[in-house]
Amino acid sequence: MSNHPFSDASQWEKLKTGIIDLAKQEILPRFEKISAEVKKDGSLLTEADLEMQKKTKSFLYDNWPEFAFLGEESTREEQVNALQSDIGCWILDPVDGTSNFASGIPVFTVSLALVVQGKTVMGLVYDPSRDEMFAARLGMGAELNGKQFSADTPKEKMKQCIGLIDFKRLPAELSIKIIQDNPYASQRSIGSVALDWCWVAYGRGQLYCHGAQNIWDYAAGYLILNEAGGKSSTLTGEDVFVTEVVKRSAVAATTPALFSEWKTYLLGN
């Protein structure tokens, strides 16, 4: 898809470098040094979220002013209007994993995607604690710190896998089923949706299930998993990605074979 600037290598590097620099300026210096407030939806907000969104928005508008902007900390009206742009829309989560960040847990990311004509054409997820940049462009594969990778794992069966499971947002009956059956080798919940998607794409966890995530949580990671060759759907078997400000469930796996087994277990078909 060529109707965006990031098929050009120099523009692509400019974007990635800019986000890395901003994260190092606005997020890392505030880690373990600031408090958080509770938003109306119960999630946390810190100065790092606000400043990273503000500075990233300015950086994007200064360099690619044609695209609309949707940030997690934007108003609902601003988010809906941005998604309706005919040209394209940036989707930013300035600090994905704010609860981790505010608690001194070094597992949080910056997640940025570009949606054009209803498709995510670019996605990047930067983990400043590990200095890891997962990124993808539509039809051009996935990369980690500039090196291409494919979703792969030597694990062939669900029972051999690590499952990244967010039980908090799953239907209670499904959570009980998973806990009782223990269908994998081990389970984790790392507290960053964007990083969940990337780690499954890279094979650090091989199975994924989450009950409700917003477009700014999943847009970039969803593309990275797809471009790496992983598979995903909602808990009802639909495509996870929609250009709406609504919460979506997610089921994913590193390989198509594992996804088929995992989805059959969770959905029963």
Query: Would residue 75 be called left, alpha or beta, if left means φ above 0 and alpha means ψ between -120 and 50 degrees?
Result: beta
- Cβ neighbour number for residue 5 with a 10 Å cutoff: 17
Helices 47-63 and 9-26: crossing angle in degrees, nearest 10, is 150
Please report which residue ranges of 84-192 form alpha helices under DSSP H: 98-103, 172-181
Please, which residues have CB within 8 angstroms of residue 217's CB and are 6 or more apart in sequence? 93, 96, 111, 193, 194
Integer-rounded Cα Rg, in Å, for the chain is 18
DSSP label at residue 220: H
User: In this predicted model, what pLDDT tens digit does every residue of 38-86 receive, in sequence order?
Assistant: 666 656 678 888 899 999 999 999 999 999 999 988 888 999 999 999 9
Structural domain spans, the chain: 5-149, 158-267
The CATH number corresponding to 158-267 among 3.40.50.300, 2.60.40.1120, 3.40.50.970, 3.40.190.80 equals: 3.40.190.80
For residues 94 and 19, what is the distance between their CA atoms, to the nearest angstrom?
A: 10
Cα 164 to Cα 5: distance, rounded to the nearest angstrom: 34
d(CA 99, CA 226): 27
Closest alpha carbon to 16 in 169, 180, 220, 190: 220
Q: φ and ψ at 186, to 5 degrees? A: -160, 160
Task: Tell me which residues of the chain have a pLDDT lower than 70.
Answer: 1-3, 34-36, 38-44, 269
User: What number of CA atoms fall less than 13 Å from residue 157's CA on the CB side?
Assistant: 4
pLDDT of 47 reads 85
| Distance between CA atoms of residues 86 and 98, nearest Å | 31
Enter the tokens of residue 14: 């400019």
In angstroms, the CA 134 to CA 214 distance is: 19
Written as six digits, the tokens of 140 are 């051009």
Rounded Cα distance, 16 and 190, in Å: 24
Asked if domains 5-149 and 158-267 share a fold, the reply is no
The DSSP H or E segment spanning 216 is helix 215-228
- What would the pLDDT profile of 165-180 be if each residue is shown by its tens digit? 999 999 999 999 999 9
User: Of all residues in the chain, what percent carry a pLDDT higher than 90?
Assistant: 84
In the CATH hierarchy, which fold is given to the domain comprising 5-149? Fructose-1,6-Bisphosphatase; Chain A, domain 1 (3.30.540)
Residue-level pLDDT at 1: 45
